[in-house]
């Protein structure tokens, strides 16, 4: 399907970013997988090439262009190169964390943080989930009690992407523990703060090159100057930014499905059974026809949502539709493609096996499929 969403400048970024992936990331992918983390220098390299902070104003070292199509290009190429784990840290930094700094930082904070975010010298993360609450953010127990010009933070977070590498962690806290949603605020905790400890790099089913950690806070003194926006507005801030986060995950899901389809097409054209290519069997053609059709349908909706995001008209319901449908499709496509690889699909040296393990989390993080359906259902007046 011909896509008319991109301009020549997006195509130029695609070529440049894919070249960088091929030269700097793909050759080291197995090392990153074994280590369970990418080196911090990878972010700095990405920053030097202009692959970070595209939406950050030029006066702070960014690209100065608020256009999510650039983010879409990066998400698609990360998946096409089979570097979803290594690339997740970059897309989280660009797509999910940077918007909070752009929307809610005051001038002093912008001068302090944005240049490092754009250069990759300051790696970002966002910490919402706690061990016992899952999607029920209003029930969080991490507290930030004001004491003069500091907040005293106590609690813990888990499943934090970039949790080991991060220098700046946007942390959801209760500044008023007596309240639920209205008691939430966002504080930026920084590497090196006394009492801020990182737990183990969690051993996950997939996305092995992505560091995912537990974070622990014991009487961490965080300056009031690190508060994002106003006290008590944290839940509203999260809700405002979640559509872009969910669209980012959805876009990566469709890109991963497309990549799996491409690897499988190559395999079934070469692999033979009963003296003929696997791809020549009617069942195989039908399976691939179904996959190709569903991927194109999903891609059309993603492109529509990206345009809406750029025009500031993307709704929470549309983002939820994209997130649940595209990530569930990703799981289904990768599973069916693995089946067509036969026994080789179960071998980790094949891209499809890694993609199968990586895909399982996508219907969970950023809001589960069930939560997405709840949001959509309520928008229909069903309560």
> What residues are annotated to the active site?
245
User: What value, to the nearest 5°, has the Cα angle with vertex 28 and ends 22 and 34?
Assistant: 145
Distance CA 208, CA 320 (A): 26
From 96, 119, 100, select the one nearest 251 (Cα to Cα). Answer: 96
Q: Rounded to the nearest 10 degrees, how much is the dihedral formed by the CA atoms of 18, 164, 199, 30?
A: 40
**Helix axis angle, 234-270 relative to 316-340, nearest 10°?**
30
- In this structure, the strands spanning 168-174 and 124-127 are parallel
Collect all residues with Cβ–Cβ distance below 8 Å to 278 and sequence separation of at least 6. 267, 268, 271, 272, 284, 340
Distance CA 101, CA 61 (A): 14
Counting Cα atoms < 13 Å in the Cβ hemisphere of 145 gives 8
């Amino acid at each position: 399907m011909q896509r008319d969403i991109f301009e020549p400048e997006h195509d130029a970024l695609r070529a440049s970013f894919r070249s960088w992936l091929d030269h700097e990331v793909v050759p080291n992918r197995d090392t990153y997988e074994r280590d369970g983390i990418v080196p911090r220098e990878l972010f700095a390299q990405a920053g030097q090439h202009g692959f970070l902070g595209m939406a950050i104003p030029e006066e702070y070292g960014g690209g100065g262009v608020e256009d999510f199509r650039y983010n879409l290009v990066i998400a698609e190429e990360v998946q096409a190169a089979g570097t979803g784990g290594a690339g997740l840290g970059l897309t989280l930094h660009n797509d999910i964390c940077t918007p909070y700094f752009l929307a809610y930082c005051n001038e002093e904070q912008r001068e302090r943080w944005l240049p490092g975010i754009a250069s990759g010298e300051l790696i970002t993360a966002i910490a919402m989930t706690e061990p016992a609450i899952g999607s029920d953010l209003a029930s969080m127990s991490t507290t930030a009690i004001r004491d003069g010009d500091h907040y005293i933070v106590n609690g813990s977070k888990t499943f934090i992407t970039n949790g080991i590498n991060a220098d700046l962690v946007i942390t959801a806290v209760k500044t008023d523990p007596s309240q639920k949603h209205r008691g939430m605020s966002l504080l930026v905790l920084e590497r090196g703060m006394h009492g801020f400890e990182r737990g183990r790099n969690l051993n996950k089913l997939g996305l092995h090159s992505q560091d995912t950690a537990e974070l622990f806070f014991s009487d961490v003194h965080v300056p009031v100057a690190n508060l994002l926006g106003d006290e008590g507005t944290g839940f509203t801030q999260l809700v405002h930014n979640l559509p872009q986060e969910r669209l980012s995950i959805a876009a990566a899901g469709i890109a991963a499905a497309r990549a799996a389809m491409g690897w499988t097409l190559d395999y079934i054209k070469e692999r033979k059974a009963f003296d003929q290519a696997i791809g020549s069997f009617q069942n195989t053609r039908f399976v691939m026809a179904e996959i190709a059709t569903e991927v194109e349908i999903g891609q059309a909706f993603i492109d529509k949502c990206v345009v809406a995001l750029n025009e500031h008209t993307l709704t929470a319901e549309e983002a939820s539709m994209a997130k649940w449908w595209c990530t569930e499709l990703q799981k289904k496509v990768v599973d069916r493609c693995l089946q067509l690889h036969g026994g080789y699909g179960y071998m980790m040296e094949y891209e499809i096996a890694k993609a199968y393990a990586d895909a399982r989390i996508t219907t969970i993080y950023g809001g589960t499929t069930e939560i997405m359906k709840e949001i959509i259902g309520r928008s229909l007046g069903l309560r």
